[in-house]
Amino acid sequence: MEVLFQDLTRDYVERRVLDIPQGRIQAGSRTAIVGANGAGKSTLLNIIAGLDTGHGGRVFYGNEKKPFSQVSSQITMVFQKPYLITTTVEKNIAFPMKIRGFSQEEREKRVSTLCDDLNLTDLRKQKSWKLSGGETQKVALARALGFGPGLLLLDEPTANVDPATTGEIEQMLLKINKEKNTTLLFVTHNLVQAKRVCNRIMFLHRGRIIEEGEMSQVLTQPREGLTRQFIAGELIW
């Protein structure tokens, strides 16, 4: 799913935290949004996710340039600290499919596949409040993927998990993008992870898009001085 945004602004009190004349997320891409703290990364993600409606400008989705209200059922988000329903792992994963009208047979099939892919099979009957942080994050990802979203938004999804779980999550993201052409939009502070997972990168600085393009080009031959400073670890704010 393609995402277009025009004249996008967001103000908090007397400070403008986002000011983007135009931007585009390519359909089927794996795009990393990077930048220093306060750059506007999560704000942009929340606007695209329909969670922040106090912004100026417009956001359009898909080839037909639809508003969020017409595509919301095809979009989902995984947070850095996800919240699960107080029930079992398998019921958490199945819930978004149930409310979208998937049959019990289809729900069961997809839950089984996702549990296998994310090494959650032995935890299917486990209560959500008994899971570790890494297990919780994997369940949240499986829940997000169950209904086959066209756009998956991720806000630092591996910031609080161990390296092994991080690897499992990254492999799952690559798999779903390859097999389903799911568009991934990934906020991360970790440039190494961005390079592993994403094929495009968008660098934000003080609410503006400074540079955007193919991952290999931006990281090795950035056009903008601010981008070079950020990659070198010299840009704090």
Q: Does residue 235 carry a pLDDT above 80?
A: no
Q: Does residue 73 carry a pLDDT above 80?
A: yes
Contact 125, 89 (CB under 8 A): yes
Report how far residue 146's alpha carbon sits from residue 64's, in angstroms, rounded to the nearest whole number.
Answer: 25
> pLDDT band at residue 234, thresholds of 50, 70 and 90?
confident
Contact 136, 82 (CB under 8 A): yes
Report how far residue 150's alpha carbon sits from residue 130's, in angstroms, rounded to the nearest whole number.
Answer: 31
Furthest CA-CA distance within the chain: 54
**Each residue of 147-181: pLDDT tens digit?**
999 999 999 988 888 999 999 999 999 999 999 99
* Mean pLDDT for all residues in the chain: 93
Q: What is the 3-state secondary structure (H, E, C) of the chain?
A: CCEEEEEEEEEECCEEEEEEEEEEECCCCEEEEECCCCCCHHHHHHHHCCCCCCCEEEEEECCCCECHHHHHHHEEEECCCCCCCCCEHHHHHHHHHHHCCCCHHHHHHHHHHHHHHCCCHHHCCCEHHHCCHHHHHHHHHHHHHCCCCCEEEEECCCCCCCHHHHHHHHHHHHHHHHHHCCEEEEECCCHHHHHHHCCEEEEEECCEEEEEEEHHHHHHCCCCHHHHHHHCCCCCC
Edge-to-edge strand ranges of the sheet holding 183-187: 75-78, 151-155, 183-187, 30-34, 200-205, 208-214
**Each residue of 109-151: pLDDT tens digit?**
999 999 999 999 999 999 999 999 999 999 999 999 999 999 9
What fold characterizes domain 3-80+151-231? Rossmann fold (3.40.50)
**Each residue of 3-56: pLDDT tens digit?**
999 999 999 887 899 999 999 999 999 999 999 888 999 999 999 999 999 999
**Each residue of 187-229: pLDDT tens digit?**
988 889 999 999 999 999 999 999 999 999 999 999 999 999 9
Q: Does residue 236 carry a pLDDT above 70?
A: no
> pLDDT band at residue 237, thresholds of 50, 70 and 90?
low
Q: Write down the domain spans for the chain.
A: 3-80+151-231
Specify the pLDDT at position 233: 80
